[in-house]
Structure 1
Amino acid sequence: MLKIVSFVAMRLANYINDLLYRYDCVIVPNFGGFVTNKIGAKVDENTNAIYPPKKQLTFNAYLQHNDGLLANYIASAEKITFEEATEKIADEVANWKKQLESSSLTVAKVGTLTLNEDYKLIFEPNEKSNFLLESFGLAEAAASEVKRANEEVKVVPIAEEQEATKRVIPIAVKRVAVAAAVAGVLYTGWNTVQNQKQQDIIADQEKLVEKKIQSATFVIDNPLPTINLKVTKEETRNFHIVAGAFQEVENAYKKVKELKNQGFEARIIGENSWGLTQVVYGSYETKELARKALQSIKENISEDAWLLEK
């Protein structure tokens, strides 16, 4: 019996909402892509409000090619095949486009889409949603304004200040100052003598130690053998260009062999969260290098390739 799944139960908008917490880009095939960009905390000087770090959300209508992320997620959640999930997405996209011809479209807590006079999609993100996991639970906070007291400072001329000081210093204070100066001279002389004695003692000790070192002989009868340690460089290539995800491991190995024959450093990087074996064209140390390679692969090999940070 053929299993029939209602896409109403699939809640496409909610699946997009869930994936945006874990990925920087979620593409809806033949519709567009929701792209996030991390921004730091900021302060609104007009309202004195402090906003936590967040993922800034935008919509790119040119990102329409199926990268497999959304379909794989839906297939795993609804326990249907990848092909069935792709068909259901296509049906819902058709409904979205029809709805946009007469009204706006709200995509869960992601935002709202409308068509302008030129029939171009305009996206308004939901400002209340924050898809940055590190900021989970952090809300807008109010900051109180710091007011500084303006105290009048009276400026006294230097000549007047010195004259006033001279009048209030008693003779006894002057005598105490003279006595302190004399004591300081005596202490300095005594301290110099003590320092010289200490230096003489240290010099004698250094000479004694030097003689003992020169007369000592160190012989090691049974030296320990040399140990060669092989240090493996820690894997730092965390940016991968995904060629595909396979349910059968044998198909994954076939894909690796095919890509290696084409000159790629292809390999298997394990299973994804849906249990599919992932095969990559190659792995890179920086996102910049990975993006350049991805662009070349999309233009010359396959438009289905996509970037994974892991």
Structure 2
Amino acid sequence: MQLSTYINDLLYRYECVIIPGFGAFLTHYKSAQINEGTNTFYPPSKIVSFNKQLQANDGLFANYVASVEKCSYETALQKIRNFTANLSSELNEGRTVEFKNIGKFSLNEEKSVQFHPIEKQNFSTSAFGLTSFVSPKVARESDKTVLTATEKQPIVLAPEIRETKPYLKYAAIAVIALSAISLGSLKLYENQVQEFNYAEREKANGLVENQIQEATFVIESPLPILNLNLHKHSGNYHVVAGAYRMEENADKKVEQLAERGFSPIKMDVSKYGLYQVLYGSFENRTDAINKLNEIKRTENADAWLLVQEIK
């Protein structure tokens, strides 16, 4: 099934990929984990699940098929209808249908669709190339006993040294005395520097205060109040007018949509190097799909729905 390959491609980019008339694949983030029993480390991942209730066409799958196979949007929709019809037929005959690198479909005794994902498949692009690995447990040595200061043996000079070299005692006394004199002089110098810095800082503060008191600000004619009503793009469901490799083309599309009465927005360049231009954003998925259908009928048959959080 060639279309299953397209679904696999889209799952790396989007969190929801709907097959019109059949259901939707959803990806969920799973953080990195450690199995303490086997010492196995697992990287972060995006796992896939299936929801039979989401069957309304959002345009994402059909637009992707049309762009890859270089055909019209209607032709792509017809290919998807044929794909789902064959899929349902095989399931009703009791067969198990496998989507490569995604999972398997089958019917249970109640004739309900069951999806079994491939557990080792990771759709997270940030974890590309990372695999699980086993690391041996780190064996730590017990802490060695360390003597405290009170337990250390004192240093005692041998009697021979005390008797034969009495001048060492006087030399040590002289060094201590010189150190005390040096520290006292250094402390006196620091106090003088601090007093000088404090006096200069007070002078500077006084000059600044005088200048502030002397300065006056008079605005004879206040500036008029300017009210701007900016359209805020909020929500995770966005109707996309197009994606452009050149930023200049994206800017031209924004100007064209603004002239037609829309409030477009140009998104930051994506990790695929494309600038996407939006007609608008919506909090509710139903509102977004209704707007998408309206734009397809009246403005742009190639528009599609993007599900993504804009930060």
Above 0.5 in TM-score?
Answer: yes
Asked if the contact 1:241–1:308 (Cα under 8 Å) also holds between the matched residues in 2, the reply is yes
Looking at structure 2, the residues matched to 65 and 148 of structure 1 have their Cα atoms a distance apart, in angstroms, of 58
Give the C-alpha shift of residue 243 in structure 1: 4.5
Aligned to 2:137: 145
Correspondent of 1:18 among 6, 9, 31: 9
Q: Which residue does the alignment assign to 1:263?
A: none
Partner of 1:279: 279
Query: In angstroms, what is the RMSD of aligned CA positions?
Result: 4.9
2:114 is the alignment partner of 1:127: no
- The match for 1:44 is 35
Q: State the 1:108 CA deviation.
A: 1.7
Instruction: Confirm or deny: 8 A CA contact 2:264 2:279 kept in the other structure.
Output: yes
Please give the per-residue CA displacement for 1:138-157, whole angstroms capped at 9, x wherever unaligned: 22222121123458x7899x
8 Å Cα contact 2:31-2:44 kept in structure 1 = yes
Once the two structures are TM-superposed, the CA of residue 171 in structure 1 deviates from its matched residue by: 6.8
How far is the alpha carbon of 1:12 from its aligned partner? 0.8
Q: Against the structure 1 CA distance between its residues 206 and 155, is the aligned structure 2 distance closer, same or farther, given a 3 Å change threshold?
A: closer
Q: Take 1:13 and 1:207, find their aligned partners in 2: how far apart are those partners?
A: 80
TM-score, reference length from structure 2? 0.63
Paired residue type of 2:279: V
Could you list the per-position Cα deviations for residues 34-56 of structure 1 after superposition, in whole angstroms to 9, with x for gaps in the alignment? 00112222122232222221111
How many residues get paired? 259
Distance (whole Å) between structure 2 residues aligned to residue 150 and residue 14 of structure 1: 55
SS of equivalent residue, structure 2 residue 56:
coil
Q: 1:241 and 1:68 mapped to 2: Cα distance? A: 13
Equivalent position of 1:221 in the other structure: none
> Structure 1: any 5+ residue segments left out of the alignment?
1-7, 219-231, 258-265, 284-289
CA contact (8 A) 2:23 2:54 kept: yes
Letter in 2 for 1:91: N
Deviation at 1:199, TM superposition (A): 2.2
> How far apart in 2 are the matches of 1:170 and 1:150?
36
Question: Aligned-pair distance for 1:19?
Answer: 0.6
Q: Is the 8 A contact 1:59 1:123 kept in 2?
A: yes
> Aligned-pair distance for 1:107?
0.9
Deviates more, 1:238-247 or 1:88-97: 238-247
Please tell me whether residue 241 in structure 1 is matched to residue 237 in structure 2. yes
Provide, for residues 216-238 of structure 1, a one-character-per-residue CA deviation record: whole Å limited to 9, x for no partner: x99xxxxxxxxxxxxx9xx9957
In structure 2, the partner of 1:195 is 187
Equivalent position amino acid for 1:72 in 2: N
Counterpart amino acid of 1:139? Answer: T
Higher relative contact order (CA 8 A, sep 6+): 2
Closer, same or farther: CA 204–108 of 1 in aligned 2, 3 Å: closer
When residues 204 and 51 of structure 1 are mapped into structure 2, their CA distance, relative to the original with a 3 A threshold, is closer
For the residues of structure 2 that align with 1:13 and 1:185, how far apart are their CA atoms? 89
2:68 is matched with: 77
The one of 45, 58, 61 aligned to 2:52: 61
Q: Which amino acid aligns with 1:136?
A: F
Cα deviation, 1:262-304, whole Å, max 9, x if unaligned, reads xxxx533469999997532x36xxxxxx3xx335x269x5696
Find the counterpart in structure 2 of residue 267 from structure 1.
Answer: 263
Mapped partners of 2:275, 2:186: distance in 1: 79
TM-score (norm 1): 0.63
Q: List runs of 5+ in structure 2 lacking aligned partners.
A: 212-227, 244-252, 294-303
